[in-house]
Structure 1
Amino acid sequence: MTVAAASPSLIQRWTAWRERRRASRTRHQLLRRCPRALDLQQRLPAGLHQAWLAHASDEFPGLPSLESDWLLASTGLMQFFLAAAELEGPCALPSRAADAVWHAWLQWDAAGLSTFQRERLGREVPHLKESQLAGPLDHALSRCYAACCRLEQLNPLEGRLPLVFELDRRLRMPGGWHYAWHKRLHCLSHQILDVDGDPRGRQHLHAVHGASLLGLGLLTAGEQASWAQHLQRLSRQDEARQRGDSTGSGSSCGSDAGSACSEGGSSCGSSCGGGGD
């Protein structure tokens, strides 16, 4: 005799409805914010979601796994792929949640991943460990930051973070990175997220600021003029402070920020990357 499957309870139906609604809102937000990355996400192979559910939580304990979480993490990876494919030089991935999708794809179907990248991006984006990235990590992080800002039509000097840089914080990813724009020093910084997904401990500064973006050729003409005006303001504040007329901060996060990310490993806010030398 066949036993009929139990019908979902009222609370189960309500929970499923709430998650579908949440995923729908997330999709609409991503459509407005980064349509190219979302379009690429919609073309992912059907089995990747299940592969991510099956494998990612083992390597990344505490990984959020609801439908909306998958949508954010996979779209964040697509934003990174678009940035890395359009850049010359290595590009650092600033999200462990996005990296979990990449790792699951490599384990599930590495050949299919290569084919997807060639067909959708025009080139392959190799998966590289942080130690394999050529040049300083902050240069690779600067490239990623500037390119992802372009994908969302953001000014990289104004401190609004693109999706992949705020992804771990938004998902409260245990062991992930809480990125922020340091308003006083005008540079990128991050903190490690604890097991509850809360930022804890020291704030790590990065040499990702106007000077580094300018030096790497990542600013438009208008942004270069804006950065020059910012430096002029700082110079005037410094002169006024020296005369005793002002107490302005006068710091632009220059070369000192480059040494702040010096402990290596996950503390530097990137586990993997891609792109050429």
Structure 2
Amino acid sequence: MQRKAYVPGVAVLLAALLAGCTSGSANGGTADDSKGSNTGTTASAAEPGKYRTLPEACGSVPHDTLDSLLPGIKQITDEQQREKAYAGDATLTYDTDRRDGCQWKVESTTATDHLLVDFERVVSYDNAVSDDAKATGVFAGKETAAHLPEPSASSSGTDTNPSDTATPSSTASSSGSGSASDPGSDSASASETPADLQPRTLDGLGDEAFLNDKLSSASSAARQRTVTVVFRTSNVIVTIEYAEQPTASTDAPDSKEMQDRARKLAQKLADALNG
């Protein structure tokens, strides 16, 4: 009888011990999971960029702006050809939500003008880096690659908005030069170019912006000037390339006039993005 009474007691004791171990393990597991969960919710992902899509580049430039940048359009007498010139040619892209561009090329009686508008939406795939931070780095790389000269001592360091009046084209050869680091640019030193026309960073355009201005070598048959404006707003980077090559080899495109036109277009695109 004592043997029979003892066996159930041992069983009860073992059951209690097993229950205690199971309970402790469950409580411990719950505590660890809870800590891991809290850690996961505390470390928040970086902020996404403001923009999830891009404008259609070929439809982003108004006709009146194209008339100013590409004077040859108004000289096209055939209506269908003129509309085709306004429409531009879309650049090759595989995802228009990430990149979209358009280019125009129009000849006039005095020059051939080129225009390129490119939208790039930057996306960070690193949870610790926001889209804006990633775009800031991409923009910095573009600015570094432009090799902008150091601001001259006479410059106030504050860029002004483009004026409504342009300097006469006769002053072009003395007012513009390319980057000194570009072997294909004008040989004139940066000191011979007015500070407000030199390649430089720009104020009041997007979150950050810069302008580059290059004039082909004097030995070229016809001197082509290319003005580039690049600006960033949040996680979108916009690039405008505006080039003009005169028909006469003795002429040089006017720097101020081309810069003003390119900057006015850049401001319109920036306002449209923020609108």
Q: TM-score, normalised by structure 2?
A: 0.26
Tell me which protein shows more strand as a share of its residues. Answer: 2
Q: TM-score, normalised by structure 1?
A: 0.25
Tell me which protein shows more helix as a share of its residues. Answer: 1
Q: Which has the higher contact order (CA 8 A, sep 6+)?
A: 1
Q: Highest Rg: 1 or 2?
A: 2
